[in-house]
Structure 1
Amino acid sequence: MSEVEDKEKPVALMRLALEQAVEALERMEVPIGCVIVKDGEVIASGSNKTNASGNATRHAEMEAIDKLLFQWQQAGLTQKQVADNFCSCELFVTCEPCIMCAAALSILGIRKVFYGCGNDRFGGCGSVLPIHSVGCGPCGESLLPDYKIQSIQCVGGILADEAVALLRGFYEHGNPNAPKPHRPLRTNDATIESL
């Protein structure tokens, strides 16, 4: 692979994650999307479904991971085969994984994460906590007896402006599905108080 192809591939894959984020936005979800890649091919994708599911843990990464787990379970893969598969995967996500998602990625053994914009409120790849470098520690050890701290190589800033623009567009109008009370929603130029 040439150096140019090597630099263009992450951008092309992040564009696919951005497509997932747009799908989330169209469903009035926080616009974050991701794709999981193995051997250069997308094998799963996901977008936020926290509002639709009523479950705050249904982040884009968790949606994609669950799709893979289901596929691999249907294919009859053993736990060891699933673990080996995750270790050879990369994840592309439009916003830095939160602490919860970064911990899950560490436990699963995903070695490389590419993300768009940083996550200054909940980021688990260094913005708030360095889960990417210290792993999940005791929680991983208690869940999995053979757990070893898995560091994740993180590369941020890929198409960050596009990711931020989607998030800004969503939050400028307010999240209509946010728990009440929340800040006033904006429609057009008028501001209305939420009920």
Structure 2
Amino acid sequence: MCAAALSLLRFRSVTFGCPNDKFGGNGSILSVHSTACGGCGGGGDGGAEQQRQHAERHQQQQRELCNGQHSGQQQHQQQAAAGALPQGAQRPPGAPYPARGGLLAAEAVDLLQRFYCAGNPNAPVPHRPVRSRPAPPPELAVAAAMQIG
């Protein structure tokens, strides 16, 4: 899924199986998850203003807890009444989030390969016939192998 969309959805963290080495945004190509998502967070500054406001709210909550103004149960009841997530769970939209990849990576790659090889049985019939390509001459195959290796 798009790293910017994950950031906007305000997940606490993201865990995924295999990175996308072609256009991945969770650290395989770009680190969108750790640098915010630019203008999509609102204001074009990666959500910097929202992050600052969130940090101020968090500091205020910490001061209130340290001063003994709220017990843990009272604070939980206030948050539940306001429909808020537990302290530390809420991030401003577009803010960085922790991401961890490689969980069951081999199994994830195998699953994706099987999915794409199966094709879509519900796909419409193409309007034009699909032409098969002739096999490349053996000289080109050897040259390509030498460049890769």
TM-score where L is the length of structure 2:
0.45
Q: Which structure has greater strand proportion?
A: 1
Question: Could you state the TM-score of these two structures normalised by the residue count of structure 1?
Answer: 0.35
